[in-house]
């Protein structure tokens, strides 16, 4: 009854009852779906979101100008360049990260629909956010984590997450490495009738729009300007999607949206051996590349996180550069914050040097830090796993083998992953689900419009890409 195959066969049925959305209703053409309709049907406009979040002390976090770090970046740039770097201090949210914005909407929805509790499959901040928001609404919570390898070694950042979730009264299931975590999550949903507080439901993504709105309002208030560039750490894509939607709705149409991830290319996300050879548990390429190029691999049939619709640029930074910037934030700005926001901060330090000095660049989040999350804990884990850690040229970073802390701030750079490569990979995934090998000619108008919106390619660009794919 509960074997892996049997439970996975019941997946869509369990999903439908645990999320309360009939995704089939939005299907269009052969492979399209009504994305904006799915979001609108939640019935949540921005004012509702901000009111719901304010009731549970979520959002309205400070926007902090990093004057010292900006001055140093400016000193490394050509004359007239070196934008003002601001950071949105999302660590000020109740459970210490912007994920409260997503969890607050999930908890509100679960409560409204009469579910007894909320559950999430998350080894990261979202687990603590769901457990914390469950407390606000008097709901039970179950958090399923991938937390230790076959030698029983716990990732220290995830051990800290276990502690936080348990301190909020959650039942925390700690699993060893493997994608079958989802199987265990489905069993928990089925047994308890809890609400699936997935990161990827429409309301979870709408919950992040308030962040984009706040950035526009605060930048306007502090500087009288609109943000020139906003950098969001990219993993599953919801962070970037929700923020970009909020920025645009608040009128910052011209703002450039950049996704930033820690480069962990070469490490496999489901490998027992690689599990503790990573010094970052989120905001890395192991999640961002698969989820940007195929959002619907998420735990719901159609993810509301679709970053390729909004991303103007996708950059990576090395683990060593993020550790450097984490230390720099502490010693230049007196702020100790966690890895997720510092990934965007490392990118911001380099990118600010290419942007005029009177322009505003916003690092879109911070998260809390502490035992397990701190660079000291992560670098000690890396050393114990036989990974080389030294000061030098960050080009020598080699995920799982070498962490190189830049010897000088000039060495901090971003490396672009071309949007064209992501668009191409996305289209290959989109067509995989269909029997279309003559691509362009088989698709209906609704499919063409959908693929254009998903990739931001124009019709000619889309047809060219489909032609190339059909020959591959």
Partner 1 sequence: MTVKAGTLVDIHMVLLPRGQRAPRVPEDTAAVDLEMKVKGELLHDGEKGSIVRIRTAAGRTMEGTLTAVNPEYSHGFGAPVPELGHVGPQLRERLAQLRKEEK
Give the footprint of partner 1 on this chain (CB under 8 A). Answer: 4, 68, 71-72, 75, 117, 140-142, 147-148, 150, 154, 156, 159-160, 162-163, 166, 169-180, 183-184, 191-192, 268, 270-273, 323-324, 327-328, 330-332, 371-372, 374-377, 379-380, 389-391, 405, 407-409
- 291 or 324: whose CB is closer to partner 1? 324
CB of 234 vs partner 1, minimal distance in Å:
24
- 118 or 255: whose CB is closer to partner 1? 118
Distance CA 467, CA 438 (A): 8
CB of 141 vs partner 1, minimal distance in Å:
7
CB of 9 vs partner 1, minimal distance in Å:
13
Q: Is 101 within 8 Å of 53 (Cβ atoms)? A: yes
- 34 or 166: whose CB is closer to partner 1? 166
Q: Is 145 within 8 Å of 161 (Cβ atoms)? A: yes
CB of 375 vs partner 1, minimal distance in Å:
6
Among 53, 46, 65, which Cα is nearest to 93's?
Answer: 53
- 97 or 218: whose CB is closer to partner 1? 97
- 257 or 340: whose CB is closer to partner 1? 340
- 333 or 365: whose CB is closer to partner 1? 333
Distant-in-sequence, close-in-space partners of 291: CB < 8 Å, separation ≥ 6: 235, 236, 237, 297, 298, 303, 305, 307
Please identify which residue in the block is written with the tokens 């020959």. Answer: 471
- 167 or 438: whose CB is closer to partner 1? 167
- 25 or 383: whose CB is closer to partner 1? 383
CB of 59 vs partner 1, minimal distance in Å:
28
Helices (H), 275-433: 285-293, 319-333, 339-351, 375-384, 419-432
Query: H or E stretch including 31?
Result: none
For residue 83, the 8-state DSSP code is: P
CB of 58 vs partner 1, minimal distance in Å:
23
CB of 272 vs partner 1, minimal distance in Å:
4
CB of 382 vs partner 1, minimal distance in Å:
10
For 23-33, give one letter per residue: b (16+ CB within 10 A) or e. beebeeebbbb
Among 223, 215, 206, 271, which Cα is nearest to 61's?
Answer: 215
Handedness of CA 294, 313, 204, 132 (dihedral sign): positive
Query: How far apart, in Å, are the Cα atoms of 268 and each of 25, 99, 125, 284, 435?
Result: 35, 25, 21, 12, 29
């Amino acid at each position: 009854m509960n074997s892996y195959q049997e439970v996975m066969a019941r997946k869509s049925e369990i999903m439908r009852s645990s999320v309360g959305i009939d995704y089939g209703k939005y299907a269009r053409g052969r492979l399209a779906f009504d994305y904006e309709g799915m979001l609108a049907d939640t019935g949540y406009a921005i004012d509702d979101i901000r009111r719901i979040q304010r009731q549970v002390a979520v959002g309205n976090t400070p926007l902090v100008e990093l004057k010292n770090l900006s001055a140093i970046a400016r000193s490394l740039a050509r004359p007239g360049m070196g934008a003002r770097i601001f950071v949105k201090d999302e660590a000020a949210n109740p459970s210490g990260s912007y994920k409260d914005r997503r969890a607050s909407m999930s908890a509100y929805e679960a409560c409204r629909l009469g579910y007894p509790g909320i559950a999430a499959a998350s080894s990261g901040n979202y687990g603590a956010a769901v457990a914390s928001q469950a407390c606000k609404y008097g709901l039970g919570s179950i958090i399923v984590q991938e937390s230790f390898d076959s030698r029983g070694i716990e990732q220290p950042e995830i051990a800290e997450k276990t502690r936080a979730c348990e301190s909020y009264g959650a039942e925390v299931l700690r699993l060893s490495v493997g994608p079958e975590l989802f199987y265990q999550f489905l069993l928990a949903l089925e047994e308890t009738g809890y609400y699936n507080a997935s990161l990827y439901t429409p309301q979870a993504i709408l919950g992040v729009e308030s962040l984009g709105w706040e950035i526009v309002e605060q930048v306007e208030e502090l500087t009288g300007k609109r943000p020139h560039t906003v950098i969001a750490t990219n993993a599953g894509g919801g962070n970037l999607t929700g923020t970009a939607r909020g920025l645009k709705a608040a009128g910052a149409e011209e703002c450039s949206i950049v996704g930033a991830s820690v480069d962990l290319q070469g490490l496999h996300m489901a490998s027992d051996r690689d599990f503790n050879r990573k010094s970052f548990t989120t905001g890395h390429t192991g999640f961002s590349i698969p989820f940007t190029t195929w959002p619907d691999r998420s735990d719901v049939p159609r993810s509301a996180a679709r970053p390729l619709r909004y991303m103007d640029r996708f950059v990576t930074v090395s683990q060593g550069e993020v550790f450097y910037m984490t230390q720099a934030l502490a010693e230049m700005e007196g702020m100790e914050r966690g890895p997720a926001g510092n990934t965007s901060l490392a990118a911001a330090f380099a990118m600010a040097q290419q942007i005029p000095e009177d322009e505003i660049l916003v690092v879109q989040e911070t998260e809390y830090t502490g035992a397990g999350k701190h660079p000291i804990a992560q670098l000690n884990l890396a050393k114990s796993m036989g990974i080389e850690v030294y000061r030098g040229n960050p080009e020598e970073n080699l995920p799982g083998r070498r962490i190189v802390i830049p010897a000088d701030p000039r060495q901090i750079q971003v490396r672009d992953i071309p949007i064209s490569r992501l668009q191409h990979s996305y289209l290959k995934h989109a067509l995989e689900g269909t029997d279309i090998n003559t691509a362009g000619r088989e698709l209906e108008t609704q499919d063409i419009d959908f693929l254009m919106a998903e990739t931001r390619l124009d019709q000619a660009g889309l047809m060219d890409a489909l032609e190339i794919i059909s020959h591959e």
